[in-house]
Amino acid sequence: MIDYPVPSAERYLGVSFPPVLYSALVEDTNFEVLDSGGRDQREIDVLVVISGGSHRSIRNMRFSSFSSKALVKEVYQRFDRLPFFLGRFCSLHRTRFYQHLAFRNYEYENRLKHLRARNPSLKIIHRLDGSYSNICKRYGYDQTVRKINQIADVTVHQSEYSRKVWETGVSTVFGKSVVLQPKRSIVIPNGVDTRLFGSYGSRIPLSGETKILHVSASPNPRKGLYKVLQLAGLLDGNVGIQFFLVGNQKNDPICGRDIEKFRNVHYLGPVNDRQQLSSIYRAADIFLFPSEKDCSPNVILEAMACGLPVITVDSGGNKELIQKSDLVGGLILDRKNPVLAVQNMIEHYERFQAGALEIVERYHKKEIMKKNYVDVIRELIDS
């Protein structure tokens, strides 16, 4: 069971890994593959847990996984004025109001206990995303990640950066992040479906001799929209270079409203269909992704699979994706001289494009990722 909802591998909702892994494993007739929407009652041999179970909410709660703290958290989030009412009669400290945003994912922890109780021989693969405190959301869920990791048989990181964050720790606004001590940890790079994201196929019409694309489902300022707009402003005098944005950049609280002020920036809005997204990738020439502290952005892999060399920043696991021993599929943005990367990319375009395609072919095809996970699954079942 891949314990994450996979409504459709064709839909794009900002989370790419679970549907790619699900579609890869479900093609293997040796496995019966379930997602979190499957029946918990049947016998499960291997459970793949994604990070801290952030997809689970009180709507998914069953009696076996009931948590009063999860209920308290949901009530406080639904009824904004409840604290004012309760504060007239008792201390809000006693009602856990001040702590509720930092609660662990107790419902999910209980769910895993229930699943293991029903399946005593269950093996758990814990696949990790970024630290919740590092990206400043779901404040208490890193503690749930620690709890899950204590019972996991294998911990899978998507990059060496992920391993460093979780097993060494980093400084965050909350203090030092949670440090894990896995029983066994390995790195399995993310895979991309090259039948969907490939250099051959339909292309939507985009204007410009050099079309630079930025994709981000998140409006978080860490995604680097301000760097995209900075480049657009510097290159405003060259009408042959045009920028295209796909996602929720308009909701960036710092500079989302500035997008419309640039004549060479075109906002295409959110795209929830992977086929449509792939046709946009193929229509562009360069993928620009100046996001910080991402463990292994799947959008970089999707872009490279569609033949786009990448300009990114040396943060998180970005560099691990575009540079592999003798292969180079992109360039690192220089903070003091950002246009240099664009100029070098245009002048040596064929080399970087060929490097991007070869990196995906050698290291990041879905089939390669599948083999790595199958090897781990078989090893766990046979142990």
The pair of structure tokens assigned to 229 is: 């707009």
Single out the residue of 13, 363, 31 nearest to residue 22, CA to CA.
Answer: 31
Q: Which residues of the chain have pLDDT under 50?
A: 63
Single out the residue of 49, 205, 66 nearest to residue 116, CA to CA.
Answer: 49
Q: What is the pLDDT of residue 277?
A: 95
318 contacts 289 by C-beta, under 8 angstroms: yes
Alpha-carbon distance of 66 to 245, in angstroms, equals: 42
Q: What is the pLDDT of residue 94?
A: 74
Q: What is the pLDDT of residue 59?
A: 57
CB-count exposure of residue 383 (10 Å: 0-12, 13-18, 19+): exposed
Alpha-carbon distance of 264 to 245, in angstroms, equals: 11
Strand-pair category, 185-187 with 175-176: unpaired
The pair of structure tokens assigned to 78 is: 């639904």
CB-count exposure of residue 173 (10 Å: 0-12, 13-18, 19+): exposed
- In CATH, the number for domain 2-191+367-382 is 3.40.50
210-364 CATH pick, 3.40.50.300, 3.30.2420.10, 3.40.50.2000, 3.40.50.20: 3.40.50.2000
- Residue spans in the chain of domains classed CATH 3.40.50.2000: 210-364
Alpha-carbon distance of 127 to 374, in angstroms, equals: 14
158 contacts 318 by C-beta, under 8 angstroms: no
Q: What is the pLDDT of residue 250?
A: 97
105 contacts 142 by C-beta, under 8 angstroms: no
**Which 8-state DSSP code applies to residue 11?**
B
Q: What is the pLDDT of residue 103?
A: 87
Using CA atoms, how far residue 62 sits from 43, 110, 225, 344, 370, in Å, is 18, 10, 41, 56, 32
- Give the CA radius of gyration of the chain: 22
**CA neighbours within 13 Å on the CB side: how many for 109?**
20
Q: What is the pLDDT of residue 18?
A: 87
Q: What is the pLDDT of residue 66?
A: 63
Beta strand residue intervals within the chain, DSSP E: 2-3, 46-50, 123-128, 154-157, 171-172, 175-176, 185-187, 210-216, 241-247, 265-269, 286-289, 310-312, 323-324, 327-328, 330-332
Strand-pair category, 327-328 with 323-324: antiparallel
